Amino acid sequence: MRYALVLIDLPVGSLRAPFHYRVPEEMEGRVRFGVRVVVPLSRRSVPGFIVGFDDHAPTPDVLPITDVVSPDSLFDEEIWELAQWVAEHYLATPQEALRCAIPSDALAHLRRWVVRGAEPLDASMLSATERALLGALGPQGADEEDLVAAIGRGAVRRALARMQAAGWVHVRTQVRPPAISPRREVLLRLAVPPEAAWEAVDRYRLHAPQRARILRMLAEAGEAPRAAVLRGGGGALRALLREGLVEEVRVEAVRDPLRGTYRDTSVPAELTAEQREALDAVLDALDNSRHEVFLLHGVTGSGKTEVYLRAVGSAIQRGRRALVLVPEIALTPQTVARFAGRFGERVAVLHSRLSAGERYDTWWRIRRGDYDVVVGPRSAVFAPLADIGLVVVDEEHEGAYKQTNAPRYHARDVALERSRRRGVPVLLGSATPSVESLWRAQQGSWRWLRLRSRVAARPLPAIRITDMRREDGRSVFGRALIEAMRARIASGDQVLLYLNRRGYASALVCRECGHVPRCHGCGVALTYHLATRALRCHYCGRVLPAPSACPSCRGIHLRPFGPGTQRVEEEVRRLFPGVDVARADRDTMSRRGAHQRLMDDLRQRRVQVLVGTQMIAKGLDLPGVGLVGVVAADVALSLPDFRAGERALQQLVQVAGRAGRGESPGEVIIQTYQPKHPAVLAACGDDMAFFEEEIAARRALRYPPFSSLIQLIVSARALADARTAARSLADSLAAAEILGPSPAPLSRLRGWYRWQIVARGQDAQALRDAVRQGLAAWRRPPGVRIAIDVDPVEML
Ligand code: ADP
Ligand code: ZN
């Protein structure tokens, strides 16, 4: 007797472990690893996945599998093991993790099908709803969801319960086929040798020109889609089919994922010495099938992408495959174009413009082994690519790699785990690596590969700092930025003015000395709450009255910081009347097509000055931008997050990169009240000094990489409920070191009040265990939600 281990696919936290089910003989051939099945569970039929087999059953009364949804295996052991790791590491369920690895369209769903049973003796026994329900049942019955859509969920549920009990209707669980299946296409082809076809073309030319045209087309092209041929006349085609000159073939239509993708086929002749050295290190690991982590650290334009391309090419030459992760496909068009250009048909690009059908096709083709390279965003880390020999993670520091709902995985860290399990090298690249990654590289647990010089001749933009403490404060712009804007506007260059968005209260900054009040225990900037005139630490919850004078210089101009985009726009109009200004923030960009319109206006120079938030920092590639002004670096520097400095540096480098992408060298001006802040200095070039200082602070305050963090956000519709629930959760987490509970910086989001708890531990595994036990012991009040974020990246 053979038993299958079935992971029930329901969103119920208590069904984490697979159950044994008997494999009926008639299903032997179809019940394979990774197949979706229907099994009985507490007298219901529920979907599940086969995740293993056993010769023995734990109990004698094991039930049989009811049905095999489709004989296609959706995942292999490698993906299942990775999903289990993700579930364990991120305190999620294996179901949640597995669903990241399977496109939802590939999952056939179950439906509840309602059919008529015995006729009620008397129609007056039926309520109005029940009569409506019976009326809606066709002779074959109806899908319960369709009834719900027509009548309402509660009403249908109550009516069905009573009618089932009376025997008037029966409800059966059935398999509904996948929403999308591979598209079939009918091609036409010559059924005779080409010479015979050409003879027929001559014969038909006069009296049957349509037939001649179709034959000529097929003789020239070999084959053509029927739909295209039909446009020329169905009668002629039918005649040709009848005469046996043409035949139909059914094929699986390929929805080409690279369709419309721009390809860059340039290949530099020779690598620089630094590139060569980096590539050789990776190839050595590749040749010896050795898991090793490489951190490729080099400024933009230093040739990192070329190293990825060569390493991937070498992996393919050795008969292996490669997985390439990029933060966001839409924002990295050049990178994608170069992969598409270098590897052509062999590369699948999982971009967001794919239709559901294209995504589904591509996923299956990857699973079948049609591609050697997969390029995609964070979810691609679960791509069903077999024989991976190399994993590449571009821009490893990017926050976009973190998933924002459960399981809240970090694609870089999952990539590290996947390559570790496979025993293959992983190549992480960045111009501004995360502090944690740099630490591992510096400690020697990872291999640090530096590209110190730029390949292309284009110089980095010149960066200047304006010390806002020395300005008179009448304008949001300092004198240097006003002068630079005046010069650029006169010469016809475009100007980008960058501001950091905030969705919550901001910190105070002293306009005289640049001091920002911080929490003594947590090191993070305190946020200022105008209503209560209080300063609050969002980590530990400490609340202090706002000082009237600066604790550092006794100055009296201690104010919340950060002008809004609107204020900046008005200021530009006031200083430069008549200049074309546009604003890009969440208000102006929410309308459909607004982004595209703005891009067109910028490209055609209908906009000369653009004021924008983070939204425009990435991916903007405009040759006309000669000047970038960072209006207030202080906002980023004083976010209530221990990574504020690191994040500010990454943003500064990113926006600075928007300048001088054309012929003329660009210019960047950073305005700040903290001109000596290490992150600001690092943006001008000295990034290792920043790193040393940051590492010292993290060590002193015990933040990663010197500890692990788990953030728990408790939310409720009423403030008191959120607070009470957070406090009771904090009590039951007593086994871990706890910061908080306190209101989250985004204290209210879409009508939910949010409280946060940060659990911290020296040992990641012990911390996870403590939090898991605390959660299990906690009784979650009704109406309260909880979100668990292991290794949080953005703590808002
Ligand atoms: P990064 O990924 O670090 O920004 P790229 O790999 O994109 O750098 O290289 C920047 C530019 O230099 C690209 O146009 C690339 O084609 C070119 N390039 C890269 N390596 C070389 C090389 N060895 N010789 C000449 N040009 C190169
Ligand atoms: Zn604190």
Report the candidate in 75, 55, 15, 13 with the shortest Cα–Cα distance to residue 39: 15
Q: Whose atoms come closest to the Cα of 450: which ligand?
A: 1
- For 7, 132, 232, 738, 758, the CA distances from 89, given in Å and listed in that order, are 19, 50, 60, 19, 17
Query: What is the whole-number distance in angstroms between the Cα of residue 519 and the centre of ligand 2?
Result: 5
Determine the residue type at 788: I
Q: Which residues of the chain have pLDDT under 70?
A: 108-110, 174-184, 231-233, 251-263, 352-353, 456-458, 501-504, 592, 617-620, 662
Q: Is 272 in the pocket of ligand 1 (CB under 6 A)?
A: yes
In the prediction, which pLDDT does 176 show?
64
Tokens of 424: 């293959």
Instruction: Please report the atom of ligand 1 found closest to the CA of residue 299.
Output: 3
Q: Whose atoms come closest to the Cα of 738: which ligand?
A: 2
CA atoms within 13 A on the CB side of 445: 8
Q: What does the alpha-carbon distance between residue 663 and residue 641 come to, in Å, rounded to a whole number?
A: 38
In the prediction, which pLDDT does 172 show?
76
Query: What is the whole-number distance in angstroms between the Cα of residue 43 and the centre of ligand 2?
Result: 52
| Whole-model pTM over 0.85 | no
Q: Is 657 in the pocket of ligand 1 (CB under 6 A)?
A: no
Instruction: Please report the atom of ligand 1 found closest to the CA of residue 302.
Output: 3
How many residues are given for the chain?
A: 796
Ligand 1 site-directed mutation target among 305, 335, 395, 653, most atoms within 8 Å of CB: 305
Instruction: Please report the atom of ligand 1 found closest to the CA of residue 275.
Output: 23
Instruction: Please report the atom of ligand 1 found closest to the CA of residue 309.
Output: 6
Q: Is 337 in the pocket of ligand 1 (CB under 6 A)?
A: no
Render 91-122 in DSSP notation, one character per residue. Answer: T--HHHHHHHTS-GGGS-EEEEEEEE-SPPS-
**Which residue has a Cα nearest atom 9 of ligand 1?**
303
φ, ψ of residue 481 to 5 degrees: the values are: -70, -40
Using DSSP's 3-state secondary structure scheme, residue 638 falls into: coil
**Which residue has a Cα nearest atom 20 of ligand 1?**
303
- Residue 365 CA, distance from chain mean position: 21
Q: Whose atoms come closest to the Cα of 544: which ligand?
A: 2
Query: What is the whole-number distance in angstroms between the Cα of residue 272 and the centre of ligand 1?
Result: 10
Query: What is the whole-number distance in angstroms between the Cα of residue 756 and the centre of ligand 2?
Result: 13
The 10 Å CB-count burial string (b at 16+, else e) for 709-720 is bbbbbbbbeeee
With helix as H, strand as E and coil as C, how does 322-391 read? EEEECCCHHHCHHHHHHHHHHHHHHEEECCCCCCHHHHHHHHHHHHHCCCCEEEECHHHHHCCCCCEEEE
In the prediction, which pLDDT does 402 show?
96
Query: What is the whole-number distance in angstroms between the Cα of residue 663 and the centre of ligand 1?
Result: 17
Q: Whose atoms come closest to the Cα of 269: which ligand?
A: 1
Q: Is 306 in the pocket of ligand 1 (CB under 6 A)?
A: yes
Query: What is the whole-number distance in angstroms between the Cα of residue 455 and the centre of ligand 1?
Result: 6
Interaxial angle between packed helices 273-287 and 304-317, expressed in degrees from 0 to 180 and rounded to the nearest 10: 30
In the prediction, which pLDDT does 379 show?
94
Q: Whose atoms come closest to the Cα of 520: which ligand?
A: 2
In the prediction, which pLDDT does 454 show?
81
- Around ion ligand 2, which residues have CB less than 5 A away? 519, 521-522, 537, 539-540, 542
Q: Whose atoms come closest to the Cα of 299: which ligand?
A: 1
Query: What is the whole-number distance in angstroms between the Cα of residue 771 and the centre of ligand 2?
Result: 21
In the prediction, which pLDDT does 502 show?
65
Ligand 1 site-directed mutation target among 264, 266, 267, 306, most atoms within 8 Å of CB: 306
Query: What is the whole-number distance in angstroms between the Cα of residue 205 and the centre of ligand 2?
Result: 88
Query: What is the whole-number distance in angstroms between the Cα of residue 301 and the centre of ligand 1?
Result: 6
- For 261, 487, 652, 763, the CA distances from 490, given in Å and listed in that order, are 37, 5, 26, 59
pLDDT in tens, 536-564: 888 888 899 999 899 889 988 888 877 77
**Which residue has a Cα nearest atom 19 of ligand 1?**
303
Ligand 1 site-directed mutation target among 455, 458, 653, 661, most atoms within 8 Å of CB: 455
